[in-house]
Amino acid sequence: MADSLSTSPGPFDWWTSASSHAKRALIAGGAGWALDGMDVMLYALALTTIKAEFALTSAQAGLIASATLLASAFGGMAFGVVADRIGRVRALSLSILLYSLCTAMCATARSLEALIFWRLLVGIGMGGEWAAGSVLIAETWHPRQRGRAIGVMQSGWALGYILAAALAAWIIPQWGWRWLFVIGAAPALVVLWIRSSVPEPEAWIRGAADRPGIFATLGRLAHPPHRARVVVACLLTSSLMCAFWGLFTWIPGFLSTPVEKGGAGLSFVNSTGWIIMIQIGAFFGYFTFGFLAERFGRRPVFATFTIAAAVLTPAFALSAGKPTLLFVIGPLIGYFGHGFFSVFGAMLAELFPAQIRATAQGLCYNFGRGVSAVSPFIIGALADSFGLVTALAFLGALFFAGACIFFLLPNVQGEELA
């Protein structure tokens, strides 16, 4: 647990006052999440090239992304159980090994079926990383700093996306998409440091003696007071992740599609530059959400972010062929369309006790991922029928629904973790 906070904290006191264990946990979870984001988004950035090589329709290309998300839901739920049983650090290490090595194996795919198979395994590791890493950080940091720490961890996704975009712009034009996926094996090296430097949190160690079995854990989640919290949290994550994955899976394709076909009409290199701008906005959204929530409260800040995303999504879709408008809206949709995710790691941890925390957190967060697996496919199918602009504009209502559902959960901000 972090050291006691000073009465007049400075701007960096949240970091300097934290214990060395807490700092290492944040570095481990943040690095794992950043490299997770890099590996996962390699497919979205190579989407146009892969479509051409395999002669895929937009719906088929979206199906691969949907399969990855569906597998991530299973992975997050499974690794939540694993993290409760064998520890947060061990589960985090296993998940990183899985998604990194299987990303590299995507380079060997010679058929649609083979590519789907490897992306399924990537998804399992992807879901597992968040389930283990977010709980590790939440249980290690002081309650008043927990939101900031989770926000910093979430910001790693944007850094991973930016790294993936830079690698795609450099590698694909020269060597093709397969070498891009080979680079995805690099995160496996991070596991060596995690296993040697990051201890298990005290909250997990204390609960080792009375930890329930898998079925007993699920039974506790199915009864009050946990049942209502699980149901509402699953509705919340489903709504927002359908909006998020439907939007951000297809933004690269939207930017690089010719204007006459309903896209923004940017070249591959230029569209990569726009993606990096969006992810810079995302980085600041993730990073600042925790600070803003601690200053003004989670509920009003969360509502502001999600409602802004609801408005900006159709505006972005309607900016096709208008570079100036794209320039203005891009970073804003990155900021508001990503930042609210920083609430989940801290909030879900505070809703459930230590013995079932990772299982509950993995279930709630990744149930939404599982439902959102249909979103890239549906948006791809809508794009085939009505155009990509109409398909993307459809997603704004889902962001707004998430803003409303959030208020059905109890306000547990800053509670001590048992």
Query: Minimal CA–CA distance to 28: which of 217, 208, 170, 199?
Result: 199
Coil, strand, or helix at residue 44?
helix
Give percent of the chain with pLDDT exceeding 90: 21
Query: Residue 198 carries which DSSP code?
Result: -
Instruction: Give 279's Cβ-side CA count (13 Å radius).
Output: 27
pLDDT at 3: 45
Tell me the average pLDDT across 284-291: 89
Q: Which backbone phi and psi does 175 adopt, to 5 degrees?
A: -125, -5
Side chain identity at 270, as an amino acid letter? N
- Kindly give, in sequence order, each residue whose CB lies less than 8 Å from that of residue 8, ignoring residues fewer than 6 positions away: none
pTM of structure: 0.76
pLDDT in tens, 92-124: 999 999 989 999 999 998 888 899 999 999 989
**Tokens (6 digits) for 406:** 């959030």
The residue ranking higher by pLDDT, 213 or 238, is: 238
- Whether the per-residue pLDDT at 4 is higher than 50: the answer is no
Domains of the chain: 19-408 (1.20.1250.20)
pLDDT at 92: 92
* Residue 2: pLDDT band with limits 50, 70, 90: very low
Tell me the average pLDDT across 208-236: 77
- Whether the per-residue pLDDT at 84 is higher than 70: the answer is yes
**Tokens (6 digits) for 275:** 């993606």
pLDDT at 320: 67
**Tokens (6 digits) for 330:** 């891009």
Respond yes or no on whether the N-terminal peptide bond of residue 353 is cis (omega within 30° of 0). Answer: no
- Whether the per-residue pLDDT at 244 is higher than 50: the answer is yes
pLDDT at 81: 85
With b meaning 16 or more CB within 10 Å and e meaning fewer, what string describes 124-156? bbbbbbbbbbbbbbbbbbbbebbbbbbbbbbbb
pLDDT in tens, 385-417: 877 767 777 788 899 999 999 999 988 776 666
Query: Minimal CA–CA distance to 297: which of 401, 406, 400?
Result: 406
Instruction: Give 137's Cβ-side CA count (13 Å radius).
Output: 34
- Whether the per-residue pLDDT at 284 is higher than 60: the answer is yes
Judged on CB neighbours under 10 Å (0-12, 13-18, 19+), 86 is: middle
| CA quadruple 16, 21, 22, 26: dihedral, nearest 10 | 110
Alpha helices in 87-142 (DSSP H): 88-105, 112-140
Distance CA 97, CA 105 (A): 12
Q: Which of 147-151, 219-223, 338-342 has the highest mean pLDDT?
A: 338-342
Tell me the average pLDDT across 235-253: 86
Judged on CB neighbours under 10 Å (0-12, 13-18, 19+), 88 is: buried
Coil, strand, or helix at residue 6?
coil
Distance CA 405, CA 196 (A): 41
In contact, 378 and 167? CB cutoff 8 Å: no
In contact, 201 and 132? CB cutoff 8 Å: no
Distance CA 26, CA 131 (A): 14
Alpha helices in 257-297 (DSSP H): 268-296
